[in-house]
Amino acid sequence: MAFRNFLDGAASFGAALVTSGVCFLPAWFTVMAVRATIAPVWAYLAAGGLAIIGVILTLAFLRKGIAGIAPTRQRRR
């Protein structure tokens, strides 16, 4: 039982890592593109929105990882 919770927590930490990569890398590249004048200035808004969503999801997955909850579940098994 405890090992299952450990694996569920590890899966949630992995989901947090993947989520941060999927959200923060494009946001960072968007900011770099705006600074290099490749993208328009309003792209800062899209990068900021993506970063905010990334923070929310990453914190949610980290909370689940600490509690030992699988990323696709609401409660422990």
Residue 23 pLDDT > 90, yes or no? Answer: yes
Rounded distance, CA 15 to CA 27, Å?
Answer: 18
| pLDDT tens sequence across 27-38 | 999 999 999 999
Contact 12, 71 (CB under 8 A): yes
| pLDDT tens sequence across 38-65 | 999 999 999 999 999 999 999 999 999 9
Domain boundaries, the chain: 2-67
Residue 77 pLDDT > 80, yes or no? Answer: no
Residue 20 pLDDT > 80, yes or no? Answer: yes
Closest CA to 13 of 77, 60, 73, 74: 60
Rounded distance, CA 40 to CA 32, Å?
Answer: 11
**pTM of the predicted model as reported, rounded to 2 decimal places:** 0.88
Residue 74 pLDDT > 80, yes or no? Answer: yes
